[in-house]
């Protein structure tokens, strides 16, 4: 399977690219608005994996080119770039593509980080509104600490709430999540449940900052 990470040069994109290339045999495509930056980052990721004895297939492309070649397209971009990114890749998607959004709308003030949903109600809803009608959108990977996820020496024990209205697409993304060692996918229902999942992220950031405990995740028991 080919997995494209639009915005794969950023924190969560890098982390997911490294983990999938490390734990699986999937082909990982790093996307960026700047293809040269994408290729450079792909080479960095391959170098890191090679140092660990892993011969990985990581390539870099402009976002639309990456999406055109992929089965699953992860929108690893900030919430304020999400609609532009979907629109940029929309004509490269078809009814066999799956879009995945881990983005969260947040704002910071003197009290800390706060959930800041768009007028659509959630970032996932924005993605669904912007995506072609026949392309399912799945929400996942919102609540992962990117720095720790990118550190391949870190052992993980985190849950990944996965939501969406297309059950087959949701099952596929759940399986991809669980191929990363230490992650457990949990069915969080349909897209209407996006706000509840997205809002966990600013809570985790505030807990980490106020308790000097970096890289917090969630585990439901």
- Please say whether the beta carbons of 188 and 180 come within 8 A: no
The pTM for the full model equals 0.96
> What secondary structure does DSSP assign to 7-22, as a single string?
TTTSHHHHHHHHHHHH
Residue 205 included in any domain: yes
CATH of the domain at 117: 3.40.50.720
Is the C-alpha dihedral spanning 126, 127, 130, 133 positive or negative?
A: negative
Residue 22 to residues 16, 46, 54, 64, 86, Cα–Cα distance (Å): 10, 10, 7, 24, 27
Question: Given this model, what pLDDT does residue 68 score?
Answer: 97
Residue 25 included in any domain: yes
**Whole-angstrom Cα distance, residue 25 to residue 104?**
29
pLDDT tens readout for residues 192-210: 999 999 999 999 999 999 9
Residue 215 included in any domain: no
Strand partners, 149: none
Residue 218 included in any domain: no
Question: Given this model, what pLDDT does residue 213 score?
Answer: 83
Q: How many domains does the chain have?
A: 1
Residue 217 included in any domain: no
Question: Given this model, what pLDDT does residue 160 score?
Answer: 98
- In the predicted model, residues of the chain with pLDDT beneath 70 are none
Question: Given this model, what pLDDT does residue 85 score?
Answer: 98
Token duo for residue 108: 């910071």
Q: Is 14 exposed, middle or buried (0-12, 13-18, 19+ CB in 10 A)?
A: buried
Whole domain around residue 116: which residue ranges? 2-210
């Amino acid at each position: 399977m080919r997995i494209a990470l639009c915005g794969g040069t950023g924190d969560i994109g890098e982390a997911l690219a490294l983990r999938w290339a490390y734990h699986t045999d999937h082909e990982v495509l790093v996307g960026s608005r700047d293809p040269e930056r994408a290729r450079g980052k792909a080479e960095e990721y391959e170098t890191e994996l090679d140092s660990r004895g892993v011969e990985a297939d990581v390539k870099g492309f402009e976002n639309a080119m990456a999406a055109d070649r992929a089965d699953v397209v992860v929108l690893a971009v900030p919430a304020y770039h999400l609609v532009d990114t979907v629109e940029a890749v929309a004509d490269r998607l078809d009814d066999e593509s799956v879009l995945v959004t881990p983005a969260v709308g947040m704002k910071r003030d003197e009290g800390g980080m706060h959930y800041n949903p768009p007028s659509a109600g959630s970032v996932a809803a924005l993605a669904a509104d912007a995506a072609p009608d026949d392309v399912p959108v799945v929400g996942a990977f919102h609540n992962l600490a990117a720095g720790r996820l990118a550190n391949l020496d870190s052992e993980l024990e985190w849950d990944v709430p996965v939501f969406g209205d297309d059950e087959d697409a949701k099952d596929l993304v759940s399986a991809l999540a669980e191929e990363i060692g230490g992650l457990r996918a949990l069915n969080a229902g349909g897209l209407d449940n996006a706000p509840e999942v997205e809002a966990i992220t600013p809570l985790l950031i505030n807990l980490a900052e106020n308790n000097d405990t970096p890289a917090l995740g969630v585990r439901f028991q």
